[in-house]
C-alpha cells in the first residue's frame, strides 16, 4: 500500500516542482527578451532573436512539464483540469475576438493588447479550477 502512496504523491510533487521550475525559467526569459534590447544589449538584433528563441525553448519545456503533470494526475483531477481548460479556451477565443472587434471597429479608443487575452484566460482557468474543486468536495 505504501509503495503506491509514495509513487503517486511523490510523482505528483515532482511533476509540480518541475512545472514550477520551467514556468519560472520561462518568465525570466520573457523578461530578458522584453527588456534586454533596451536595457542590456542596446537593440542588437542578433541578441534579441537569441533571447526570443530562448524564451520559446523555455515555453516548450513548460508546456511539456504541464502535460506531464496532467498525465500524472488521477482521473478526477484530470477531469477538473480538462473542464477548466475547456471553459478558459472558449472564453479566451470568444472574449479575445470580441475584444479585437471592439478595437478594429473603433468602439474602444485604445489598442487591444494580447496581455488582455492572457489575463482573461488565466482568470477564467483559475475560476474554473476553483468551481470544479468545490463541486467534488
- 87 with 128: CB under 8 angstroms? yes
- Minimum distance of other proteins from residue 7's CB (angstroms): 7
136 near other proteins, judged by CB under 8 A: yes
Other Cβ atoms less than 10 A from the Cβ of 96: the count is 17
Quote the CA–CA distance of 117 and 113 in Å, as a whole number: 7
Q: At what angle do helices 2-39 and 45-71 cross, to 10 degrees?
A: 160
Instruction: Count the site residues for other proteins by CB under 8 A.
Output: 16
79 near other proteins, judged by CB under 8 A: yes
Q: Which residues, at least 6 apart from 18, have a Cβ–Cβ distance to it below 8 Å? A: 65, 68, 69
| Residues in contact with other proteins, shown as a per-residue x/- string from 39 to 78 under the rule CB under 8 A | -----------------------------------xxxx-
**Residue entry with cell 478558459:** 88
- Minimum distance of other proteins from residue 130's CB (angstroms): 14
Question: For residues 8 and 35, which CB has a smaller minimum distance to other proteins in the complex?
Answer: 8
4 near other proteins, judged by CB under 8 A: yes
List contacts with other proteins (CB under 8 A). Answer: 1-2, 4-5, 7-9, 74-77, 79, 133, 135-137
Amino acid at each position: 500500500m505504501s509503495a503506491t502512496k509514495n509513487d503517486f504523491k511523490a510523482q505528483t510533487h515532482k511533476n509540480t516542482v518541475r512545472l514550477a521550475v520551467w514556468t519560472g525559467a520561462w518568465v525570466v526569459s520573457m523578461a530578458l527578451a522584453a527588456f534586454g534590447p533596451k536595457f542590456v544589449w542596446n537593440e542588437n538584433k542578433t541578441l534579441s532573436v537569441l533571447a526570443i528563441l530562448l524564451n520559446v525553448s523555455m515555453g516548450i519545456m513548460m508546456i511539456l512539464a504541464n502535460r506531464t503533470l496532467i498525465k500524472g494526475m488521477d482521473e478526477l483531477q484530470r477531469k477538473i483540469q480538462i473542464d477548466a481548460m475547456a471553459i478558459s479556451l472558449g472564453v479566451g477565443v470568444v472574449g479575445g475576438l470580441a475584444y479585437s472587434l471592439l478595437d478594429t471597429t473603433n468602439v474602444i479608443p485604445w489598442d487591444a493588447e494580447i496581455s488582455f487575452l492572457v489575463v482573461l484566460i488565466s482568470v477564467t482557468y483559475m475560476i474554473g479550477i476553483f468551481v470544479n474543486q468545490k463541486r467534488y468536495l
